Amino acid sequence: MRPSKRAADELRPVSLERGFSKHAEGSCLVRFGDTHVLCTASLEENVPGWLRGQRRGWVTAEYGMLPRATHERMRRESTSGKPSGRTQEIQRLIGRSLRAVVDLQALGERQISIDCDVIQADGGTRTAAITGAWIALRDCLTWMRTREMIKTEVLKDHVAAISCGIVKGEAVLDLDYVEDSAAETDANFVMTGSGGIVEIQGTAEGKPFTEAELGTLLGLAKGGIARLVDLQKQAIA
């Protein structure tokens, strides 16, 4: 039995609240159970230096946590002087995941910055962030289309993410903090609406895992991501 009483392949209650932020071109407060992440999309009319003049745009992401989003208060990253390795790893992952479904040519020479700020954390913040960021990005692109800034389709597909893991020998979907802390293997999957794999990150925390276990985790993830994509479709309907 999982601590949350969920079935092995059961997601936590997920909600996607659009338009949470008054100022952003697109925004979404995503909740995976007690994990709450505010995703905003900000349009900027210039691109990073290395991309200038190439008639292509860019989508990038930044990730942060409020100091008391977690059980113990964490030091604010602005006072420690630099984003931690973990923060940078996550924001690079979010950016790559979104770019996998964006036609950067069609976007034009502009940048969309996605900020994913964890208001409350209970495991799976990066997967919630990716899932909510897709909504913020999509609404930003709709905002641009309304203003005739883009003409052709920029967004090629949905993208969503979920964690899986092996906890006490059992493969389970969408780990909360308690399960995450106890997992022998921890894996994050990012997949598109049409089922393509964008990113797999699997780590043995304790003993190494087998090819068969990897297959089981991948199966769980496919099911979970299909449901997240459905929820994205409902949210934008």
| Least Å from the CB of residue 8 to a second copy | 20
Pick from 119, 226, 231, 236: which binds a second copy (CB under 8 A)?
119
Judged by beta carbon, residue 92 or residue 168, the one nearer a second copy is: 92
Kindly tell me which of 75 and 237 has the beta carbon lying closer to a second copy. 75
By the 8 A CB rule, do 3 and 183 touch? Answer: no
Does 169 contact a second copy by CB under 8 A? no
38 binds a second copy (CB under 8 A): yes
- Residue numbers 197-226 binding a second copy by CB under 8 A: 197-204, 207-211, 214, 218
Residue 145 is assigned to a ligand binding site: no
- Nearest distance, CB of residue 125 and a second copy, angstroms: 13
- 26 in Cβ contact with 143 (< 8 Å): yes
Annotate 58-76 with DSSP letters as a single string.
EEEEEEEE-TTSSSSPPPP
Amino acid at 206: G
**Least distance between a second copy and beta carbon 89 (Å):** 5
Assign 3-class secondary structure to 8-42.
Answer: CCCCCCEEEEECCCCCCCEEEEEEECCEEEEEEEE
Nearer to a second copy, 45 or 237 (CB): 45
Q: Does 115 bind a second copy (CB under 8 A)?
A: yes
SS3 174: coil
Between the alpha carbon of residue 72 and those of residues 31, 66, 77, 79, the distances in Å are 20, 11, 15, 17
**178 makes contact with a second copy (CB under 8 A):** no
- Measured N-to-C along each axis, helices 211-236 and 125-146 cross at an angle, to the nearest 10 degrees, of 40
Residues 60-99 that bind a second copy (CB under 8 A): 62, 64, 66-71, 73, 76-85, 87-89, 91-92, 96
Question: Smaller CB distance to a second copy: residue 53 or 237?
Answer: 53
Residues 175, 151 contacting (CB under 8 angstroms): no
Position 18, amino acid: R
Alpha helices in 147-187 (DSSP H): 177-182
DSSP state letter for 187: E
- Tell me if 138 is assigned to a ligand binding site: no
Report the interface residues with a second copy, using CB under 8 A.
21-24, 27, 34, 38, 40, 42, 44, 62, 64, 66-71, 73, 76-85, 87-89, 91-92, 96, 100, 113, 115, 117, 119-120, 122, 187, 191-192, 194, 196-204, 207-211, 214, 218
Binding-site residues, in ranges, read 86, 124-126
